[in-house]
Amino acid sequence: MRRSTSSPPLSSSLSPCDAGARCPQAGPRHALLEISVTAPTLAPTPVSIWDAAHAADARRPRSVQTQLGASDTICSRRSGYILADAERTNAGDKRAAILGTYIHKGLLEDARREYGWLVERTVADDVLRGHIDVVQLDAATAARLPKRHRPVEPGEVVTVEDVKTKSSRVWDRVVRYGPTAAEMRQVLLYADLLRTVGFADIPGQRYLHRLGAIDVRRIRFRFVCRDTGEEHIQEFPFDEWLAVEARWWVDRVMEAASPEELRRDHDGPGLSVVCDNCEDHGVPQGAGA
């Protein structure tokens, strides 16, 4: 017959020392090893690089000027707030716009170096002020400049160009329909300022100011997709009647007694990317209609 054996209970086979208790008669070498556990120290959270980017963006000239900029004519209400010098109360999430600024600046600087284009040049009158992305002079006008300031290849006609960076989310619309009414108004105002007063008389471009009023014949939009780098170009002959209409739009904004009298030209915060990225002035986001 097979005998079954079983191990004795654990407590009966272990001494008090083996069981984990301190033996009352044991010496120092029988004492339990005491282990102290220290909680790990958490490292400080690194600062966000976007804090630096937003701070730098807030100091850019377009962010602190109170004169109406041609790029601010995207919305009547927004233009009214700027003219009224209303306090800005909402900065919104501007990361996509800041990335667009970096791309925009890099492309224009490289074009200036490689092609000799006139980039980021200031135009202004008593009401409007703006920076034209690119001005391409024709051969006759370029010949009036010092040789070191002439383009590598002059344009067929004097052309005012605006470079717009877009996300892939709206790229199909851009290719299908081209510039929006607000984008067209902005570039028409740039061209009109160049045709009526010429380049602004400021340091760094006085040689351009001496050219006087310039006969702009063409406007151009250069769209660049921020996600893929794809480029789409559209050109239009300069239209004096459309330029007059754009100035009429500005005059209506100037005549308003209060910004609240002016309509929002887009669907509003939460419904329009333009409104989401607009810095409200003196009213909470979402107020007004």
Instruction: Specify the range with the lowest mean pLDDT, choosing from 22-26, 175-179, 231-235, 280-284.
Output: 280-284
Which phi and psi angles does 245 have, rounded to 5°? -60, -40
Instruction: Specify the range with the lowest mean pLDDT, choosing from 50-64, 149-163, 235-249.
Output: 50-64
The pLDDT of residue 275 is above 70: no
Confidence of residue 279 (pLDDT cuts 50, 70, 90): low
Which phi and psi angles does 207 have, rounded to 5°? -65, -30
Q: Which residues pair with 137 in a beta bridge?
A: none
Name which of 161, 119, 156 is nearest 139 in CA terms. 156
Q: Which amino acid, 224?
A: V
Asked if residue 267 lies in contact with residue 286, where contact means CB atoms within 8 angstroms, the answer is no
Q: Which residues pair with 119 in a beta bridge?
A: 134
Confidence of residue 85 (pLDDT cuts 50, 70, 90): confident
Q: What is the pLDDT of residues 217-270, one digit of tens each?
A: 999 999 999 999 999 999 999 999 999 999 999 999 989 888 888 888 777 667
Confidence of residue 33 (pLDDT cuts 50, 70, 90): low
The pLDDT of residue 284 is above 70: no
Q: Which amino acid, 287?
A: A
Residues 189-213 have a mean pLDDT of 96
Residues 73-101 have a mean pLDDT of 77
Residue keyed to tokens 């105002």: 189
Across the chain, mean pLDDT equals 81
Distance CA 127, CA 67 (A): 7
Instruction: Specify the range with the lowest mean pLDDT, choosing from 94-103, 134-143, 193-202, 273-282.
Output: 273-282
